[in-house]
Amino acid sequence: MKVLIVGSGGREHAIAMAVAKSPKVDKIYCAPGNAGIAAQAECVPIAAMEFDKLADFAKEQGIDLTIIGMDDPLVGGIVDVFEERGLRVFGPRKNAAILEGSKAFSKELMKKYNIPTAGYETFDDADSALAYLETAKLPIVLKADGLALGKGVLICHTLEEAKDGVKEIMQDKKFGTAGNRMVVEEFMTGREVSVLSFVDGKTIKIMSSAQDHKRALDGDQGLNTGGMGTFSPSPFYTKEVDEFCKKYIYQATVDAMAAEGRDFQGIIFFGLMLTEEGPKVLEYNARFGDPEAQVVLPRMKNDIIEVMEACVDGKLDTIDLQFEDNAAVCVVLASEGYPVSYKKGYPITGFEQFDGRDDRFCYHAGTAFNDKGEIVTNGGRVLGITATGADLKEARANEYEATEWISFENKYMRHENGKAIDEG
């Protein structure tokens, strides 16, 4: 069969590598893709938000399944456009992708269906939000309602900070129209764990857990980034946590969406916080995490196409989802200066070391070909290097060895990925 993947990051590269392993697949296209994805897929220069052009391409090429990797096209309704054209597509429709696209929607859903999450209020105008803050408990969390590249969340420790935050989000529109509404949420403390799942509208199958490293510098210092790395499984995702989430969170979310007439097909990513009162939902995403996909997918035993087709066909109950009993660590090789300012265009060497291996992977995020045909740095996050091992300790050792195989000018990475902060 022919598969089209929509997106261009490390996540889409991990999806492309998983799809390439499927014996069912003869040909992979990726729109727009990147210099690394080009090894698995024919890259097509159509942007992820050009829904009609993508659907035209899928029709012309006779694509059997299109996989949407990114949040923007999902929230914008790409799946509806493909379905209207009679094309098979993996991902939630617009009315279900709202689970990620609107924080006000997801909070209301959780409240209505008693899914554990932080207490909150929603505001449509700055004045009422400012008035509410006067009596609210600190610290407090402000969230722009819509998609904001993962940056629309402000944790405020003083009233002043919180008032400035409301102004930034709702008046200065720092996150654009995402700030037309705002959620003001109770501050929670605890470990954060990410759990990805496949969903077919009624059945949900949970993937192995993961944790990410969001801050730019070692010791969880520095600015928040799109993610400097991940590891899987999370040692904090215990059997008890799993049982609690299965009972109160996962199926409850899928059932709630179905009850609202918003059947969810695709990936639900549960951002969880393990609080003293038990696990609570921090956020939902309607797609694989980036870079969570880069540690979870290499550990999955199933044929990803079989699982995705089962989701599209509403037959996920027939799939026995299985993961290797090992661990994986991903370290992002970034450009020095990320996430603020950095130079691009440096040639990268060492890729050949990864060729043919099934225990070390080099996922491309920000790379491109220069006019000499060399692969060069083309973003803040350049590559995601993943290694597996019998356990996290071994995976981490393998990982840091593999990061040395790659060279480019201004290469920057964190050094303690795969370690829980207090693990020493």
Nearer to ligand AMP, 214 or 419 (CB): 214
Closest residue to ligand GLY: CB criterion: 289
Distance CA 322, CA 34 (A): 29
Interface with ligand AMP includes 145 (CB under 6 A)? Answer: no
- How do 120-123 and 182-186 pair as beta strands? antiparallel
Using the minimum distance from each CB to ligand GLY, give the nearer residue, 211 or 326. Answer: 211
Q: Does the footprint of ligand AMP cover residue 141 (CB under 6 A)?
A: yes
Which pair of tokens denotes residue 14?
């991990």
218-222-228-231 Cα dihedral, nearest 10 degrees? 50
Q: Which of 21, 43, 23 is nearest to 361 (CA)?
A: 21
Q: 234 or 377, CB closer to ligand AMP?
A: 234
Torsional sign, CA 136, 152, 72, 41? negative
Residue 289 contact, options ligand GLY, ligand AMP, none, Cβ 5-8 Å cut-off depending on partner type: ligand GLY
Judged by CB, which is closer to ligand GLY: 15, or 319?
A: 15
Q: How far is the CB of 30 from ligand AMP (least distance, A)?
A: 26
Q: Does 157 bind ligand AMP (CB under 6 A)?
A: no
Q: Residue for token digits 């949970």?
A: 206
Query: Is the N-terminal amide bond of 32 cis, ω within 30° of 0?
Result: yes
**Least separation in angstroms between CB 177 and ligand AMP:** 17
Q: Is 264 helix (H, G, I), strand (E, B) or coil?
A: coil
Residue nearest to ligand AMP (CB): 283
Cβ proximity to ligand AMP, 153 vs 170, nearer residue: 153
290 binds, among ligand GLY, ligand AMP, none (CB under 5 to 8 A by kind): ligand GLY
How far is residue 20's CA from residue 143's CA, in Å, rounded to a whole number?
38
Contact pick of 124, 176, 187, 313 for ligand AMP (by CB under 6 A): 187
Strand partners, 28: 3
Q: Give the Å distances, CA to CA, from 246 to 124, 250, 260, 307.
A: 34, 5, 20, 20
Neighbouring C-alpha atoms within 13 Å toward the C-beta of 333: 29
Q: Is 12 in the site for ligand AMP (CB under 6 A)?
A: no
The site partner of 141 among ligand AMP, ligand GLY, none (C-beta below 5 to 8 Å per kind) is: ligand AMP
Find how far residue 360's CA is from the centre of its chain.
Answer: 21
Instruction: Examine residue 278 and tell whether it contacts ligand AMP (CB under 6 A).
Output: no
Binding ligand AMP (rule: CB under 6 A), the pick from 25, 96, 153, 249 is 153
Question: Could you tell which of ligand AMP, ligand GLY, none binds residue 192, using a CB distance below 5 to 8 A set by kind?
Answer: ligand AMP
Q: What are the DSSP calls for 89-133, one per residue?
A: EES--HHHHHHHH-HHHHHHHHHHTT--B--EEEESSHHHHHHHH
Furthest C-alpha separation in the chain: 62
Q: Which two tokens stand for residue 54?
A: 């993508």
CA of residue 346 relative to chain centroid, distance: 27
Binding to ligand AMP by CB under 6 A, coded x per residue (else -) over 188-227, reads: x---x-----------------------------------
> What residues line the site for ligand GLY (CB under 6 A)?
150, 212, 227, 285, 289-290, 292
Q: Report the partner that residue 282 touches, choosing among ligand GLY, ligand AMP, none (CB closer than 5 to 8 A by kind).
A: ligand AMP
Positions touching ligand AMP (CB under 6 A) are 118, 141, 143, 150, 153, 155, 185-188, 192, 271, 282-283
